[in-house]
Structure 1
Amino acid sequence: MPTELEELVEFLHSDNAQVKQIALEHCVQFSSGPQQQLFAYDNYTAIKDLKALIQVNGRTTATQAATIMANLCEDTVMRDLMVDDEEFLKWLVFEVCNPLNKVADLMCILLTNLAKSDSITKVFGFETEQIKNDDFRVFRSNKAMDCLMDCFVKGADKTMNKWANYDYLSYFFADISRFAQGRAYFVTEQAYDEVVPISKLLVFTEKYDAKIRREGVASTIKNSLFDTSAHMTLITDEKINLLPYILLPLAGPGELDDEDMFNLPDELQLLPEDKKCEPVHEILCVHLESLLLLCNTRPVREYLREKSVYPLIKELHKAFDVELICELCDRLVQLLMRDEGFDDEATEDSDEDDQIVEVL
């Protein structure tokens, strides 16, 4: 015989809309922590009910359903029941892209939580015909990832959807870039706009009024750099121009001599005297880890030396008394200042300590 709480989740598929709404409202408080196992009752029927409720017109219903589902993603079984439903996942992705969606940001959080599953890579195959409608004039591609990128870039500061800023998509990009297919997407020019996607994200590394956006973008950059074959293109192709946007958050008020300053990328020359580093230490560390990844090959190390990266890191080291930041700076200094007079290929694998573990 079901308990009172189990009866509560049964009401999520009641024929009475009012009863269903009341049950949904009360279920929110049980969607996190140990109590979330309540939704496993009756072979996880509640997950099916929630996938239907989130698609119902009505901001309150969609908000409550999305909140519960986002919380339930902590449970791998429940998360898989959502992400493995291809029809639902496709609906969710393109509903995020709907500029009239009043709960788009909350759905971004749900999508990000679903991206913890390996099955999330199926979004690369999703396409839609809806962009032909007037509401979707902002999009130039019918592919899901392209549309999500457009939302993130064009929709910052609620400029596309007055109810959403799409900041949490940065976490989705960070998660999906853990996979080879995701990394390939971000470093490959896309046919619909002839732009390399990662280049669209770089400007947000210094958006200091949006911590979530900066953090997700920094992790996306770092994960994309696990493919070393793309490194030289990413830092030398003027259409991408990656390096300055990793270095700018590391640049503070410290003074460099004229020669070092002259060798810096143009974007870092003549910075204002009150220029400050990235204020969040965790994000700053991610950028340092990105530089460490770039140091995996000798040609890139040589390029970084030419661009005065070493003096910049030395000044950063002086400015912080934070153990992890100092440790990462030390490792960078050792890589950039070491003698390259022996076989390069042997150095790439010579020290396991130089390998960065991918952590988001």
Structure 2
Amino acid sequence: MLSDSEATELLSFLRRDMRADVKGQATEYILGLTGNREGCRYLRTKPDFLKALVTLTADPSIAIVKDCYHALVNLSADETLHKPLVKEAAILPTMFHNLLDPEYMFADRVSTILTNLSRHEATCREVFQALQEQEISLAKIVEIFCTEGFNKKASLHYLGPLLSNLTQLPEARQFILDKERCVIQRLLPYTQYEASVTRRGGVVGTLRNCCFDYAHHEWLLSDAVDILPFLLLPLAGPEELSEEENEGLPVDLQYLPEDKTREEDPDIRKMLIETLLLLTATKKGRQIMKEKNVYPIMREFHKWEKDLQVISACEKLVQVLIGDEPEPGMENLMEVNIPEGVEQKFKDLDAKEQEEIEKEKQELLKEEAEKHPNTVPEVLER
């Protein structure tokens, strides 16, 4: 790493009034440092360099701005840099200001940085608070996200994961679930947004987080929101169901065409199933989902699915859908107090299940290698 004198000299080159070629070489060097963990950790101890990078995102040279953003994306991917970037480099006001500009060409980098910084709860809260302080509000982020072509120079797909991260917080979920704002209804169509897996996954993650607030389940499943078809349709395939099964389904899931395809991303499929499982936590939720014939969709999905972790999630949901109702006093599965010994038993079972899944994956890889000895088998884990 740099000596103190070298660091001081390099920092002197990272000024707005410095010659462009000198600045360019300095930002290029910093970008190189952020390409590995050791370099990132070194810069963690140099808040002045972080501040300089944020300042130079407003440089007249596009090449320099690009290098700065690339470096900040790398730095924000390292959790240990979150506090220095937010507290010492004061990155958030600049990022939010630039995000609001519909002509800003680096808005995708901005949304990626904000997503990285909001991944963990501590700095997620800082990001949420900065939203309020900048008088931007979560409402504005949702509006930008839902306005197709808000920025002609950026896709803004990473605002989806940003919303998902923010809904770790009860305050953000409260806003999304406000019955007067109709926010969640605006987000639902993006569960089938074909142009971006990032945007789709972000919205599904947001819905899953919101479903941890079981007090809203009945409203979410009611006609006022009608969340169920938006969660089930990506999981439904072209299989032919019986007349009786079709008639019990929500209208959007009845008699699907022969070319109907399922969600291609296994992580999103797993999140969709986890969201459905959360909606079965209450007696009313289970009742509605049974009445809406969720089981036949999941039965056919289970036959089709190949990813072992998604299959495991599907089986847990099916067990709830076809199982007996819990005993009186245990109807709300989120309020049941599990004895410590039993909870540890569940954890052990989960660990054993994950071990078996991993074992099956390795066996599949071995079989694939034996079938095709001259090729490298595709890794099943994402």
Structure 2 length as normaliser, TM-score? 0.80
Match of residue 16, structure 1, among 15, 18, 21 = 18
Amino acid across the alignment from 2:259: D
Match of residue 151, structure 1, among 131, 144, 158 = 144
| More off after superposition, 15-24 vs 210-219 | 15-24
Contact kept, 8 Å, 2:73 with 2:113, in 1: the verdict is yes
Q: Secondary structure at the match of 2:4?
A: coil
1:103 Cα deviation (Å)?
A: 0.7
Number of the residue aligned with 1:125: 132
Number of the residue aligned with 1:184: 174
1:248 Cα deviation (Å)?
A: 0.7
Contact kept, 8 Å, 1:8 with 1:27, in 2: the verdict is no
Q: In 2, distance between residues paired with 1:327 and 1:287?
A: 13
Give the gaps of 5 or more residues in structure 2. 351-382
Number of the residue aligned with 2:378: none
Pair 1:347–1:163, CA change in 2 (3 A): closer
1:36 Cα deviation (Å)?
A: 1.8
Contact kept, 8 Å, 2:190 with 2:203, in 1: the verdict is yes
Number of the residue aligned with 1:173: 163
Q: Secondary structure at the match of 2:58?
A: coil
2:246 is equivalent to residue 256 of structure 1: no
1:62 Cα deviation (Å)?
A: 2.5
1:53 Cα deviation (Å)?
A: 1.1
Contact kept, 8 Å, 1:253 with 1:274, in 2: the verdict is yes
Q: In 1, distance between residues paired with 2:82 and 2:56?
A: 16
Pair 1:289–1:98, CA change in 2 (3 A): same
Q: In 2, distance between residues paired with 1:68 and 1:266?
A: 49
1:85 Cα deviation (Å)?
A: 6.2
Match of residue 210, structure 1, among 176, 196, 207 = 196
Contact kept, 8 Å, 2:237 with 2:262, in 1: the verdict is yes
Q: In 2, distance between residues paired with 1:185 and 1:147?
A: 12
State the Cα deviation string for residues 114-172 of structure 1 (Å, max 9, x = none).
113232220441354xxxxxxxxxxxxxx4322211111113xxx22211111011111
1:197 Cα deviation (Å)?
A: 1.6
Number of the residue aligned with 2:59: 56
Q: In 1, distance between residues paired with 2:283 and 2:89?
A: 43
Q: Give runs of aligned pairs for residues 211-250 of structure 1, distance below 5 A.
A: 211-238=197-224, 240-250=225-235
State the aligned residue count.
332
Q: In 2, distance between residues paired with 1:86 and 1:241?
A: 44
Number of the residue aligned with 1:79: 82
Coordinate RMSD, CA, aligned: 2.5
Q: In 2, distance between residues paired with 1:198 and 1:219?
A: 12
Number of the residue aligned with 1:133: none
Q: In 2, distance between residues paired with 1:347 and 1:177?
A: 22
Q: In 2, distance between residues paired with 1:57 and 1:146?
A: 31
Give the gaps of 5 or more residues in structure 1. 129-142
Structure 1 length as normaliser, TM-score? 0.84
Contact kept, 8 Å, 1:94 with 1:144, in 2: the verdict is no
Contact kept, 8 Å, 1:187 with 1:197, in 2: the verdict is yes
Q: In 1, distance between residues paired with 2:326 and 2:272?
A: 28
Amino acid across the alignment from 1:52: T
Contact kept, 8 Å, 2:34 with 2:74, in 1: the verdict is yes
1:196 Cα deviation (Å)?
A: 2.3
Amino acid across the alignment from 2:40: Q
Number of the residue aligned with 1:132: none
1:10 Cα deviation (Å)?
A: 4.8
State the Cα deviation string for residues 219-261 of structure 1 (Å, max 9, x = none).
11111111111111111043x2211110011101122111111
1:94 Cα deviation (Å)?
A: 3.1
Number of the residue aligned with 2:294: 309
